[in-house]
Structure 1
Amino acid sequence: MSLCCLCARALSVLHAAVPFALVCMLPLQSGAQSRFSLLSPGTGGGGGSLWPGPACPFSSPPQTEGVRVTVNVLSEQKETPVLFVMRQKEAVVSFQVPLILRGLYQRKYLYQDVSRTLCQPQTKSELETQFFYVDVSTLSARNASYQLRVTRVENFVLRTNERFSFNATAAQPQYFKYMFPEGVDSVIVKVTSGMAFPCSVMSIQDILCPVYDLDNNVAFIGMYQTMTKKAAITVQKKDFPSNSFYVVVVVKTEDQACGGSLHYYPLSTATVYIRATLFCLGIFLSFYLLTLFIAWLWGGGGLGLPGLTPAPPCALADRSLENMASRPRLDSLSSVEEDDYDTLADIESDKNVIRTKVCQYLSVADLARKDKRVLRKKYQIYFWNIATIAVFYALPVIQLVITYQTVVNVTGNQDICYYNFLCAHPLGNLSAFNNILSNLGYVLLGLLFLLIILQREISYNRALMRNDMQALECGIPKHFGLFYAMGTALMMEGLLSACYHVCPNYTNFQFDTSFMYMIAGLCMLKLYQKRHPDINASAYSAYACLAIVIFFSVVGVVFGKENTVFWIVFSIIHIIATLLLSTQLYYMGRWKLDSGIPRRILHVLYTDCVRQCSGPMYVVSDAAYGLVVRPNDFASYLLAIGICNLLLYFAFYIIMKLRSSERIKLIPLLCIICTSVVWGFALFFFFQGLSTWQKTPAESRQHNRDCILLSFFDDHDIWHFLSSIAMFGSFLVLLTLDDDLDCVQRDKIYVF
């Protein structure tokens, strides 16, 4: 293999200097135009003339392959630059001085010294004379002084195994020609630099005009490599019909592409950004103050925080105090597991009797027989699992959206991300900071909910430690693992929604909805757990089901828009899964997959569908709607199914609670009313639809609207504000809904 070695020395981007043989000092009148014609390479001598003005002598050697034009504007011309146009037989090269090149994130760099090598079109014979013309113009009101140099490029044609040095800058790129000798099929082009930076690019291009020799176009054609000290490209003769190619070396405007440091650029400190940030913090931090005020005012009765007024005593039936005191304390955790209870034959038999006993009602005491330590471990797994999921889910998401934003900033392609462009406020490298900032409520309110749960758990554990009869025997059993999981899911929804809004598009929609499915599922599980603490689903099966839901969400968006087969399969799976879940709930987990399963399913259909027109009837109608209408936004359709089921279950729980002669205390009642109102307003702003990735970027922008709050936030931002408040209020309803039962014995609390 033949070898072609080149040695490059990269100079400072802003302070490079190149020696030239000829200098013409040309004063240019404002608005005037100068033209300079030069005899191009050939065997005869050459001369040039300048018009208007004196002649600028130039003599060309008998044979010259490369011609280079260098310009230096001596006067300040930032607002009205000087334009230079070199016209040749087959190409036109134009540039302005100062030359403006853009780096990453569309940053501008200005260069006063510009040098370009003219393209070398093919000639029929060595005796052919070629001309090129230089047109100089400016719109400046003042005279512009510049230097124009035309020089011969030494060693323009590369030779195998011969090394030489040259200088290059971002505004003074270099390229050279190589011709394959006879018998040589491939060569390695090597470029080395004496210093690591500035970052450079070596490109191999065919012999065509124009030559792409600037930082913003060098990657358009051919092969290229970025380099710091070394670069090498293997070139094969078969890839170039002319048996020759150009070696182009360009210095980049910034070093970050090669791993160098990025220049520091201060963030914007505009008043509108500060005002919007303080507005967000003020809204959500006020909930912290309101929580402390309620805790002080109500003495902890509503939120479980320590206060002034002690809780009323619990009226217990005849129970042995010795037996109460002898119960194991919460802190004496052992290695007991949930399966240790269920493997005993007598207990298994007892469970069947309790869950199918023939009496007027089933009480919470019948379904709260497992050891508290066992259930505490079982429900703690919900929190640890979702925390693990959050870490492994969020890290690649953050990395991906940063990549998306970088691509948008580098390429300038505004069709990649579906923003509301009429209300997109950039900050630093972020294109729509307002859509990200508005998600702050999810994180702050999720954290507040976790703090409330922590304080309530501490108070409850202290009551258990002192063998408080009320904590041991009264009220709904207190298990906090699901509440911690819900608070964590709310915080993650804020984080992932912010990530999605860094660059909202078709490929990352699931970031915004995944934890919404989690929240809906966890809320339903918590409602069921209140009255069925012993038989609630395990964390592993619950998250596995939610993973299946998210899987269908992704598949539905990718393949389900016009796919009839998908909708049929999904509808069938939806109905079957709902029937199995209904059977599980109806028989409280005590059923088996045997020959009697059709009879039991028919029984569930009769009781729930024919007699009550509830669950299965709704599911079948919902599945039929999806099959017939086929909504474009499958992810939102699937999420709507989950939310509607949650709302129906919520309404059913409240109705059954009131039918069971239970009452709703003041704080949960206020939370229900306020949360319902906030949800109504939130959904109004959600359905405004300011952008949609289901359409083309041009069609999506037809829905864009101006900011409506503080000249900074749009309708979707307000949805973020209101929905985070509504979710927090919904969590508080779940937390406090059964506080009226804290003084009621568990064998007198109905199961429904």
Structure 2
Amino acid sequence: MVLRSCWKSRHKIAGPAHCWMRPGFAALLWLCLTQFGSGSGAVGETKSVVQKDAEFDVTYNDTVTSDNQTIYAFNHTISRNKTEGVRVTVDVLSEGLESPILFVVRQKQAVLSFQVPLILRGLYQRKYPYAHVGRTLCQPPTRAASETQYFFVDVSTLSSLGTHYQLRVSRVDSFTLQTDKKFSFTASPSQPQYFKYVFPDGVDTVIVKVSSEMNFPCSVMSIQDIQCPVYDLDNNVAFIGMYQTMTKKGAITVQRKDFPSNSFYVVVVVKTEDEACGGPLRFYPLRPDELINAGNRTKVLDVVVSPAINSEVYVMGMLFCLGIFLSFYLLTFLVACLQNKRMNKREALLNPADMSPAETASLLGKTPASPYEYGSFADNGSTLSSEAVTDSATSTDNNYGYMERSLDSVGRSRQESLSSVEEDDYDTLADIDSDKNIVRTKKFLCVSDLARKDKRILSKKYQIYFWNIATIAVFYALPVIQLVITYQTVVNVTGNQDICYYNFLCAHPLGALSAFNNILSNLGYVMLGLLFLLIVLKRDIVHNRALLRNDLNALECGIPKHFGLFYAMGTALMMEGLLSACYHVCPNYTNFQFDTSFMYMIAGLCMLKLYQKRHPDINASAYTAYACLAAVIFFSVLGVVFGKGNMVFWIVFSVIHILATLLLSTQLYYMGRWRLDSGILRRMVYVIYTDCIRQCSGPMYIDRMVLLVMGNIINWSLAAYGLIERPNDFASYLLAIAICNLLLYFAFYIIMKLRSGERIQCLALVCILFTAVVWGFALFFFFQGLSTWQKTPAESREHNRDCILLSFFDDHDIWHFLSSIAMFGSFLVLLTMDDDLDTVQRDKIYVF
């Protein structure tokens, strides 16, 4: 009965001209309750209702109590070709309100209600009252060419005291945004703003950019479909659409396919607090005066909508990326052809077609006497006599440094004698331990002294590096791919653009991927890693063929050829590309290790390969090496999670860092001739007393001592820097430690190589110079810092920048290009830097 009488009285009040209006059930129920009941009267008491015909752009000053209700009736004409916004602005002039004023705006297809003072909640449920409120009315599309629509603004309160207010309804002429035209506006938590954008013909993707000169207050930009209601308050803006927090910059790429109406709303809301944007965290509770002052938050912003790139730019970007790295394949093929041509000419000069191998050996002044005359110390642990080595070297130098043995019996006897040899057989014999200590204490070691184990055994040992990293890659990559797919799905479903730290000003979506360009630019790691594996495979095949034909140079000259670490390095480079691409699907705080784990592995494997070149017998096993790298990755995770501002963590890490440096220095200096047991401290004190205090003798191995002293100084300095500064990006800090040590060891290797009278061939020298230049440019682009997950998403977006290459790639993409090329070049340097020793006897190659 109450609802029926309410409905009848409502039509009587509105007049027959407005009987076609049918408000929603919620608004009707509210009208009934306010008309037949109030805070001061009994339920059923009649309330005085006054309806006024109102006009746009007129300010109405009035008073409302619990005994009266005012209804303002507006009408306006809308057309299909032109969209005008309508904005309602309300000010409450009374202070110390007993009850708020309720405003209900009834439209044809929507009902908007809000109270004044408007109460918005912040962190810890803190309440912020706003006495000045402005709201834009929803504008649903119309099918008619022109249509007159009515809407009503109902004002009521339950306060028995008179409350003064001001009401103004105005048109927003610039409600529709124009392409590439900047529009400025002002927003606050109680006065959000939103505008409409319609896709022009021929434009399928646009990028919406919102900017401000003010860092704070923190704000939110949102992209919503054309529907009512529009969620434009801090407590509901995240309900639908895409949204992101922002301070100075915000950008969202919008695709036409996601909006059936070919249009959307750009909503900008100022938040009540700044914690989401990295602002100061206020302590709870606040005083009443602080709550009032905290409500004064106005921000001036600019919005511009620009067309994004088209499909042609996508194609050009992909072709450019493929073209760069395929050119390396072509260049490698040409270099290989030139080298094969030179080798064929060399073989033609040394082995004429009408000469047998025996005649060739006779021509060179050497006639094989027995299958064991050229016993290989690289294969069976024995060494040639100094006279034999001298004769062999002399004859080799005088006859183009090349000789081939073709006696099958030598290969058969060697394979039979070594068929049951294992590496552990050497280390369990007392005489081998004694011989090892005697050899390694020589002041000047040669490669022959540290290449005494069987080549077949060492090859198996180093192949484990490849198989282990391949296994790690499979078990690591599968859950990573699954996780990042989940991340991308969450971003697409929720619309929360704060989950991932993209460079939003240059993030080009493709399919479900939000930043396809950042993923595509990692292709270089995979392609160049595969190319390096092919180069290593070719060298491995050539070397094995030389061994099968018992080539003297392959058996007894040059740095021992072990390719297991090279295969592991190429695999690590490919995995770096795959995992970096996975990381850039959704870069954030929780998956940073996807991008850094194999960087640590690459740095560690390169150092191991440098050390293995001159110390093949005593290099670390794959299990020990990967266990140490796992410990590094473990500390990387701990540092990011617990290291920020935690002094205890930094003290523990610095102590472990210094102790690890000392232990490694001891291992390198004594060539493995020391034991880590309970007597280590006593032996250290004894060495210090006898060598430094008692007789002050200098170090026996000067070169090694210089390297280790410099290494300790650098590592201790890095440990001190970390302890004092406590950098936020612990992962990059740890990677910097690894790179500094790698560069130090590489520089030491090059200097000692030149000091030992060795030379660097042209190909290796070109690789070194080219790689150094590329690394310089790569680091320049790396330090541009387009985004950072150490800060809030809004602060990270302050570093976003536009694309700089083909309108498709940004600075970080160029870092991907250049760093993949630089890593490939670095691997080539390690592969080719000792090619000048391929014809030099191993007892003439110094160890350093």
TM-score (norm 2): 0.58
Instruction: Give, as a single letter, the amino acid of the residue that structure 1 aligns with 2:808.
Output: F
Report what 1:542 is aligned to: 625
* Distance verdict in 2 for CA 1:44–1:733, change over 3 Å: closer
Query: Is the contact made by 1:482 and 1:526 (CA closer than 8 Å) also made in structure 2?
Result: yes
Spell out, residue by residue over 1:89-119, the C-alpha distance to the aligned partner (whole angstroms, 9 max, x if none). Answer: 999798997xxxxxxxxxxxxxxxx9x9x9x
Report what 2:557 is aligned to: 474
Instruction: Give, as a single letter, the amino acid of the residue that structure 2 aligns with 1:421.
Output: F
* Distance verdict in 2 for CA 1:52–1:712, change over 3 Å: farther
Report what 2:636 is aligned to: 553
Hey, what's the Cα distance between the residues in 1 that align with 2:502 and 2:667?
44
- Does residue 40 of the first structure (1) align with residue 3 of the second (2)? yes
Report what 2:241 is aligned to: none
* Distance verdict in 2 for CA 1:610–1:369, change over 3 Å: closer
Report what 2:531 is aligned to: 448
Report what 1:352 is aligned to: 437
Q: 1:634 aligns with which of 707, 730, 743?
A: 730
Instruction: Give, as a single letter, the amino acid of the residue that structure 2 aligns with 1:745.
Output: Q
* Distance verdict in 2 for CA 1:379–1:316, change over 3 Å: farther
Report what 1:326 is aligned to: 410
- Does residue 596 of the first structure (1) align with residue 667 of the second (2)? no
CA drift of 1:630 comes to 1.9
Spell out, residue by residue over 1:477-508, the C-alpha distance to the aligned partner (whole angstroms, 9 max, x if none). Answer: 11011000000000111111111111111111
Report what 2:783 is aligned to: 687
- Does residue 720 of the first structure (1) align with residue 816 of the second (2)? yes
Q: 2:317 aligns with which of 276, 293, 310?
A: 276
Report what 1:338 is aligned to: 423
CA drift of 1:581 comes to 0.8
- Does residue 416 of the first structure (1) align with residue 499 of the second (2)? yes
Query: Is the contact made by 1:329 and 1:464 (CA closer than 8 Å) also made in structure 2?
Result: no
- Summarize the alignment of residues 397-436 of structure 1 with structure 2, pairs less than 5 Å apart: 397-436=480-519
* Distance verdict in 2 for CA 1:52–1:720, change over 3 Å: farther
| 1:614 alignment partner, SS class | helix
Hey, what's the Cα distance between the residues in 1 that align with 2:413 and 2:574?
32
- Does residue 285 of the first structure (1) align with residue 285 of the second (2)? no
Report what 1:437 is aligned to: 520
| 1:567 alignment partner, SS class | helix
Query: Is the contact made by 2:21 and 2:108 (CA closer than 8 Å) also made in structure 1?
Result: no
CA drift of 1:729 comes to 0.3
| 1:632 alignment partner, SS class | coil
- Summarize the alignment of residues 9-20 of structure 1 with structure 2, pairs less than 5 Å apart: none
Q: 2:588 aligns with which of 484, 491, 505?
A: 505
Report what 1:740 is aligned to: 836
Hey, what's the Cα distance between the residues in 1 that align with 2:794 and 2:655?
37
- Does residue 376 of the first structure (1) align with residue 459 of the second (2)? yes
Structure with greater helix share of residues: 2
Report what 2:145 is aligned to: 142
Hey, what's the Cα distance between the residues in 2 that align with 1:463 and 1:503?
49
Query: Is the contact made by 2:138 and 2:229 (CA closer than 8 Å) also made in structure 1?
Result: no
| 1:533 alignment partner, SS class | coil
Instruction: Give, as a single letter, the amino acid of the residue that structure 2 aligns with 1:596.
Output: R
Report what 1:294 is aligned to: 335
| 1:506 alignment partner, SS class | coil
Spell out, residue by residue over 1:566-620, the C-alpha distance to the aligned partner (whole angstroms, 9 max, x if none). Answer: 1111111111111111111111111123231444589799766689842222222
Hey, what's the Cα distance between the residues in 1 that align with 2:348 and 2:568?
28
Spell out, residue by residue over 1:125-148, the C-alpha distance to the aligned partner (whole angstroms, 9 max, x if none). Answer: xxxxxxxxxx997675714699xx
Hey, what's the Cα distance between the residues in 2 that align with 1:144 and 1:307?
88
* Distance verdict in 2 for CA 1:346–1:137, change over 3 Å: closer
Hey, what's the Cα distance between the residues in 2 that align with 1:601 and 1:634?
36
Instruction: Give, as a single letter, the amino acid of the residue that structure 2 aligns with 1:650.
Output: F
- Does residue 523 of the first structure (1) align with residue 606 of the second (2)? yes
Spell out, residue by residue over 1:171-226, the C-alpha distance to the aligned partner (whole angstroms, 9 max, x if none). Answer: xxxxxxxxxxxxxxxxxxxxxxxxxxxxxxxxxxxxxxxxxx99999xx99xxxxx
- Does residue 678 of the first structure (1) align with residue 762 of the second (2)? no
Hey, what's the Cα distance between the residues in 2 that align with 1:748 and 1:742?
12
| 1:591 alignment partner, SS class | coil
Report what 1:161 is aligned to: none
Instruction: Give, as a single letter, the amino acid of the residue that structure 1 aligns with 2:624.
Output: S
| 1:558 alignment partner, SS class | helix
| 1:544 alignment partner, SS class | helix
Hey, what's the Cα distance between the residues in 1 that align with 2:709 and 2:755?
19
Query: Percent of aligned pairs with the same residue?
Result: 69
Hey, what's the Cα distance between the residues in 2 that align with 1:79 and 1:390?
58
Report what 1:457 is aligned to: 540
Instruction: Give, as a single letter, the amino acid of the residue that structure 2 aligns with 1:282.
Output: G
CA drift of 1:705 comes to 1.3
Instruction: Give, as a single letter, the amino acid of the residue that structure 2 aligns with 1:299.
Output: N
Report what 2:240 is aligned to: none
Spell out, residue by residue over 1:322-345, the C-alpha distance to the aligned partner (whole angstroms, 9 max, x if none). Answer: 124535699889564321221222
- Summarize the alignment of residues 589-628 of structure 1 with structure 2, pairs less than 5 Å apart: 589-593=672-676, 594=679, 595-600=682-687, 613-628=709-724
TM-score (norm 1): 0.65
Query: Is the contact made by 2:411 and 2:548 (CA closer than 8 Å) also made in structure 1?
Result: no
Hey, what's the Cα distance between the residues in 2 that align with 1:568 and 1:318?
68
* Distance verdict in 2 for CA 1:79–1:438, change over 3 Å: farther
* Distance verdict in 2 for CA 1:600–1:503, change over 3 Å: farther
* Distance verdict in 2 for CA 1:320–1:480, change over 3 Å: farther
Query: Is the contact made by 1:398 and 1:499 (CA closer than 8 Å) also made in structure 2?
Result: yes
Query: Is the contact made by 1:432 and 1:501 (CA closer than 8 Å) also made in structure 2?
Result: yes
Report what 1:156 is aligned to: none
CA drift of 1:541 comes to 0.4
Spell out, residue by residue over 1:302-341, the C-alpha distance to the aligned partner (whole angstroms, 9 max, x if none). Answer: xxxx866549989999997512453569988956432122
Hey, what's the Cα distance between the residues in 1 that align with 2:687 and 2:632?
26
Spell out, residue by residue over 1:13-38, the C-alpha distance to the aligned partner (whole angstroms, 9 max, x if none). Answer: xxxxxxxxxxxxxxxxxxxxxxxxx9
Gaps of 5+ in 2: 23-27, 31-77, 89-100, 114-136, 150-227, 237-258, 261-308, 351-360, 376-408, 693-697
CA drift of 1:40 comes to 3.5
Hey, what's the Cα distance between the residues in 2 that align with 1:549 and 1:136?
56
Q: How many residues align?
A: 556
Report what 1:19 is aligned to: none
Instruction: Give, as a single letter, the amino acid of the residue that structure 2 aligns with 1:506.
Output: Y
Query: Is the contact made by 1:431 and 1:502 (CA closer than 8 Å) also made in structure 2?
Result: yes
CA drift of 1:57 comes to 12
Query: Is the contact made by 1:375 and 1:534 (CA closer than 8 Å) also made in structure 2?
Result: yes
Query: Is the contact made by 2:665 and 2:708 (CA closer than 8 Å) also made in structure 1?
Result: no
CA drift of 1:348 comes to 2.3
Query: Is the contact made by 2:786 and 2:799 (CA closer than 8 Å) also made in structure 1?
Result: yes
| 2:590 alignment partner, SS class | helix
Report what 2:765 is aligned to: 669
* Distance verdict in 2 for CA 1:599–1:705, change over 3 Å: farther
* Distance verdict in 2 for CA 1:645–1:502, change over 3 Å: same
Hey, what's the Cα distance between the residues in 2 that align with 1:309 and 1:637?
50
CA drift of 1:299 comes to 2.4
Instruction: Give, as a single letter, the amino acid of the residue that structure 2 aligns with 1:322.
Output: P
Instruction: Give, as a single letter, the amino acid of the residue that structure 2 aligns with 1:344.
Output: L
Gaps of 5+ in 1: 1-37, 59-63, 67-74, 98-113, 119-134, 147-212, 222-252, 255-267
CA drift of 1:279 comes to 0.4
